[in-house]
């Protein structure tokens, strides 16, 4: 489990407000197509940034439910959305949503399902909450698309192998459309959202991952602190030399609930 020190917390806040993660939220927002008066579930809402954006889109006639298992994240979400009367935050998880059947028009989830052991069960429960014809938008990273340059590829492989252990399915987007079709639902589109950087941006996805991956590898004793720090320092040095390169793709799967 990740425990965030002050520096990491600041880095995460910069990243959430930065262009990369704003772009990621916007891709799911656009795929969801929120309309005035919609009732929408934001599953794994975290600190409520997308929740607030959805609240502005649906207006006072709509309703947004931010759902997350973390009380700390829910507290942050409530603070962020305190001026939106159409928002309600509920503690819960995708596998057992505290929402009645056929209640919502739409549901969205960003980088949540890749951490779920029982994807089938979570999909069934999420779709249970939607009205017939309701729209489901799921965005997850495909870690098979990960490209990250290093002069020490063995050390980079050790670091990425460590990070691979923090999620359940790093290649979920490649199987998700088939799973949903197998359940009888319609896939409207699959939208690739690729992040490619040749500069190390202070508010970027790569910088956020550098902090998280270093902390995770050391905390779980996958790498020593010295090796993890050397990996981190090398990326900063590559950036100074103009040799930094990073790329990964998130896929936004858009589905419609069948009858």
Query: Which H or E run contains 257?
Result: none
Q: In 3-state terms, what secondary structure has residue 237?
A: helix
Q: Measuring CA to CA, how many Å separate 98 from each of 72, 89, 95, 193?
A: 18, 11, 10, 30
pLDDT under 70: residue ranges of the chain: 1-10
Dump the DSSP string for 186-236: EEEEEEEEEEEESS--TTSHHHHHHHHHHHHHHHTTSS-HHHHHHHHHHHH
Quote the pLDDT of residue 210: 95
Query: Which H or E run contains 115?
Result: none
Quote the pLDDT of residue 66: 97
Q: List for the chain the helix, strand, coil content (%; round to 5).
A: 45, 25, 30
> Which domains does the chain show, CATH number per domain?
6-256 (3.40.50.150)
- C-alpha span between 87 and 110 (Å, rounded): 18
Categorise residue 61: left if φ over 0, alpha if ψ from -120 to 50, beta otherwise.
alpha
Rounded to the nearest 10 degrees, how much is the dihedral formed by the CA atoms of 181, 251, 53, 167?
100
Quote the pLDDT of residue 256: 98
Categorise residue 96: left if φ over 0, alpha if ψ from -120 to 50, beta otherwise.
beta
């Amino acid at each position: 489990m990740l425990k965030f020190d002050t520096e990491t917390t600041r880095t995460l806040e910069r990243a959430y407000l930065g262009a990369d993660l704003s772009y990621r939220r916007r891709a799911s927002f656009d795929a969801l197509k929120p309309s005035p008066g919609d009732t929408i579930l934001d599953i794994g809402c975290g600190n409520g940034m997308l929740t607030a954006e959805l609240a502005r889109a649906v207006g006072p006639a709509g309703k947004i439910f931010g759902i997350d298992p973390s009380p700390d994240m829910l507290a942050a979400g409530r603070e962020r959305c305190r001026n939106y009367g159409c928002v309600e935050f509920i503690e819960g998880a995708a596998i057992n949503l505290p929402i009645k059947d056929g209640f919502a028009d739409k549901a969205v989830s960003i980088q949540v399902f890749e951490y779920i052991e029982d994807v089938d069960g979570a999909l069934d429960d999420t779709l249970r909450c939607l009205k017939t014809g309701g729209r489901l938008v799921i965005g997850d990273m495909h870690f098979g698309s990960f490209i990250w340059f290093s002069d020490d590829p063995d050390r980079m492989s050790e670091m990425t192998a460590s990070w691979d252990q923090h999620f359940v399915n790093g290649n979920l987007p490649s199987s998700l459309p088939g799973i949903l079709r197998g359940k009888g639902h319609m896939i409207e589109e699959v939208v690739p959202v690729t992040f490619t950087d040749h500069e190390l941006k202070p508010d970027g996805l790569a910088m956020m991952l550098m902090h998280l991956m270093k902390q995770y590898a050391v905390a779980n004793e996958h790498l020593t602190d010295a090796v993890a720090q050397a990996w981190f320092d090398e990326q900063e040095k590559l950036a100074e030399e103009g040799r930094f390169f990073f790329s990964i793709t998130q896929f936004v799967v858009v589905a419609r609930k069948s009858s």
